[in-house]
Structure 1
Amino acid sequence: MSSTVHTTARRSPEAVNRLIFRRIMPLLIGAYVLAFLDRTNIGMAKDRLEIDLGISAAAYGIGAGLFFLTYALSEVPSNLIMHKVGARFWIMRIMITWGLISAAMALVNGEWSFYVLRMLLGIAEAGLFPGVMYFLTQWFVVKDRAKANGMFLLGVSIANIVGAPLGGLLLTMDGVGGLHGWQWMFVIEGLPSCLLAFAVWKFLPNRPTESTFLTRDEAEDLESRIVAEERQGAAAAGNSKLRHVLKDKQILLVIGIYFTHQIAVYALSFFLPSIIGSYGKLSPVQIGLLTAVPWIFSAAGAMLLPRLATNGARSRTIATAAMVGIVAGFALGAVGGPVLGMVGFCLAAFNFFALQPILFTYPATRLTGAALAGGLAFVNTIGLFGGFLGPYVMGMTEDLTGSKLSGLWFIVALCAVGAVLTRSLKRGAEAPAREAQQ
């Protein structure tokens, strides 16, 4: 990247913050749109894989979840590498490899090839989400991070809003060129990631002092304020190394809450098209359009609520309310039928990304440097085992009971536990101060 620009006028921190949002967030959101599209598009292909290849609901659930096992195991190494080589290069590498493997899903011919490619996709994409969470800590002070995290997570909502109808449309290409519609879907949705990777390399600076849109003074002032916050929080929490994550009760608490949250997110991502398909005789395009509706509400939640989490007390209150909303939404989805059930799924989705951006602000108030990079990856690593468990339980219970909704009660129970845990969340220096008073 070229050196920072020099001008005589110095903008206010608020103006600098708005400029950074405009310059880096659209590219990051675009990357996550493609990432989430490529990891969850099998939801649209579920029923066709069963018909064309004989992959059962249980096997589908295992394959959907295996992505998260290899993804999780590769997260910490990936983030530590990114800390050394920089975000530009590493995010570009991640995007190229996952795009190629996602397109290769068109080659699936049975359960084992399905499992292998899902595991390879997990390894390829590992590090993107925690890598961006770490990257954003280099650009935003604590009070602005929940908003930045929430904007990034818009990528999930956009991917599902666009991806479900697009996937339904691509499934109608069945027979074109001798390929199934789901094969066309994997190829057409996988390759754009490779193209966007080069835009990341060209336009994404690693840190403020490498940017071309901030003055030297603005960049150095921002970096100094961020470093001061990180050091203060890490010192107050007593954390200076990655191994300290394992003894920090607050970070372990975040992991537990995030685990229950991820069970809910990915159960809905992978099984909602199939649930909607059970409501009546619907075409793939109709199923895709209806699948997109809850994710419109998730986008609204990501935009409206995280920006309000400007301090510890507000963050805790919003996190609790969001988990309660997820519990209520899935319970209504389990008993409400087509109309009230969709209302329930919309309620749950509205709260998905009100909560997740807030959770990832906590480690950044308690860690710094390489410990922060590894710590964020560790939180995501353990939490993402929920991404394996949710689809697995949904698929297993569907096979056992014949009902596509039976697994929702398992999610309701675990998310209720997560809601209780949110009441104990504390940020950085807040935790020692409160504990001393108890």
Structure 2
Amino acid sequence: MDRNLEWATDVEKKLIRRAALRIMPFLILCYFVSFIDRVNIGFASFQMESDIHISPAILGLGGGLYFVSYVLFEVPSNILILKQGVRRFFTRIMITWGIVSTCMALVQGPWSFSVMRFVLGAAEAGLFPGVILYLTYWFPKSHRATYVGWFALAIPLSSFFGSPLSAALLHLNGVLGLAGWQWLFIAEGLPAVVLGVVCMFYIDNRPEDARWLTPAEREIYRNMLARDRAPDEASTGHAVPLWRVLCNPRVLGLAVVLAASSATSNTFAVWAPRFIKSFHVSDMAAGWLNSVPFLLGAVAVIAAGYHSDRRSERIWHTAVPLIVAALATALMMVSSAFVPSYLLLGLTVVGIYASKAPTWAIATEWLPDNIKAAGIAQINAISSLISFFPIYIVGLIREAHGSYALAFLPMAFISGGGALLLLVMNHRRLRFAARSFV
């Protein structure tokens, strides 16, 4: 028997599995579409550079501005989830971002490109941390790394399937008078609107609202999650001022740790297609080659989350993959040939994605209930803000020096620094376990 399930009754185990089968595929699909809309500019830029003068520096700026607005609206957006309810919250976000992403087909030059990327970030703000919070409504702590891993699977899968799809859509160049990059934004933006409408009728706010559970099952679910809460969470029910949450040392530290993974993955999601394209391959070949490392990342995110839950261990499941990613990224500096560079890219992606589920499991376990919504949003917001800098800097360095290996070097320091910070935080946490961070 799985030692993480020993405390649960057979009925509770079945309810957890039913909930997973009910909500996880839909959440994965939603974020799959979302992430494609976030990073498809890497492929769109193949044609936008010549059509509307989107240079590498402008591409980096637009990619980074997405995260600036994402941060500005992240915490307010995630606080709304408590007032609006999950169903209305997710519906509003998906329909809005789908419309904005589709309207990316209307950009005319660097200024409109940058403005629309900023608006897209504002439209999507709150989705990822909102889902992480939502998963705490359904799954006990012993299962969270596994199911966060399943949800995070959408990120590498979006690049695995989205890369050849985006490359293929570029071949529609000239159809009905539209450029290939315009077809790309239209075809990949509209599905989000459809999913937003479906969400309104499919998602339940909490287990007690689920009509597919009987009243007795809803009561069992409520008792199971109440029993799972840590004693300090159950007893810390007082309201905490928002400013104290935003300045909480644990929240700030976890945000930097998450950035070690997310800033690197966001940067590679935008720039990996152009990195591969720099080896003089066709658009379609770049699409397929870009997809392979992210398939490996998809395997890594599931395997690491499952193994972390099986071992009931989070810290080393986060730190070791980040260190591997840092070393692989740094080694790109000494390789100019395609094969070793491509293999190092794959190793970097595996390390990045292997760290994601344990990192978020730590966040949901270290934060008490009364600051969890705002705290998770703040963690994701700060890590997203940090993403602005490497995405933008890669474009500047690439344009100035012509080297992607040099441009990627800052991410090695980000990944390695995040691993070191987590180890320091955990040491302090174990040493001062009795002291409150709030």
TM over 0.5: yes
Give the aligned partner of residue 185 of structure 2: 186
The answer to whether 1:197 aligns with 2:196 is: yes
Give the 5 Å matches for 1:245-256.
245-246=245-246, 248-256=248-256
* Cα offset, 1:232, TM superposition: 2.2
Give the 5 Å matches for 1:20-419.
20-230=19-229, 232-234=231-233, 241=240, 242-246=242-246, 248-280=248-280, 282-310=281-309, 314-336=313-335, 337-369=337-369, 371-419=371-419
* Distance in 2, Cα, partners of 1:432 & 1:226: 27
Change (3 A) 1:97 1:370: farther
Amino acid at match of 2:225: I
* Distance in 1, Cα, partners of 2:179 & 2:101: 16
Give the aligned partner of residue 3 of structure 2: none
Amino acid at match of 1:273: P
Amino acid at match of 2:17: R
* Cα offset, 1:201, TM superposition: 1.4
Change (3 A) 1:204 1:16: same
* Distance in 2, Cα, partners of 1:287 & 1:330: 20
Residue 276 of structure 1 contacts residue 287 of structure 1 at CA under 8 Å; is this kept in 2? yes
Residue 240 of structure 1 contacts residue 367 of structure 1 at CA under 8 Å; is this kept in 2? no
1:270-298 deviations in Å (ceiling 9; x for gaps): 11111101112x22111100010110011
Change (3 A) 1:218 1:354: farther
Residue 274 of structure 1 contacts residue 404 of structure 1 at CA under 8 Å; is this kept in 2? no
1:107-139 deviations in Å (ceiling 9; x for gaps): 111111001100110111111000000100100
SS in 1 for 2:406: coil
* Distance in 1, Cα, partners of 2:423 & 2:304: 18
* Distance in 2, Cα, partners of 1:396 & 1:104: 27
**What is the total number of aligned residue pairs between the two structures?**
426
Give the aligned partner of residue 5 of structure 1: none
What's the % identity of the aligned pairs?
32
* Distance in 2, Cα, partners of 1:213 & 1:235: 28
Amino acid at match of 1:16: L
* Distance in 2, Cα, partners of 1:161 & 1:129: 19
CA RMSD of aligned residues (A): 2.4
* Distance in 2, Cα, partners of 1:428 & 1:365: 16
Residue 233 of structure 2 contacts residue 370 of structure 2 at CA under 8 Å; is this kept in 1? no
Residue 263 of structure 1 contacts residue 386 of structure 1 at CA under 8 Å; is this kept in 2? yes
Amino acid at match of 2:260: T
* Distance in 1, Cα, partners of 2:78 & 2:10: 32
* Cα offset, 1:308, TM superposition: 2.1
1:226-252 deviations in Å (ceiling 9; x for gaps): 345446243789985244434543332
* Cα offset, 1:311, TM superposition: 8.3
Residue 233 of structure 1 contacts residue 365 of structure 1 at CA under 8 Å; is this kept in 2? no
* Cα offset, 1:83, TM superposition: 1.2
TM-score of the pair, normalised by structure 1: 0.91
Residue 294 of structure 1 contacts residue 349 of structure 1 at CA under 8 Å; is this kept in 2? yes
Structure 2 unaligned regions, length at least 5 = 1-8
* Distance in 2, Cα, partners of 1:219 & 1:236: 23
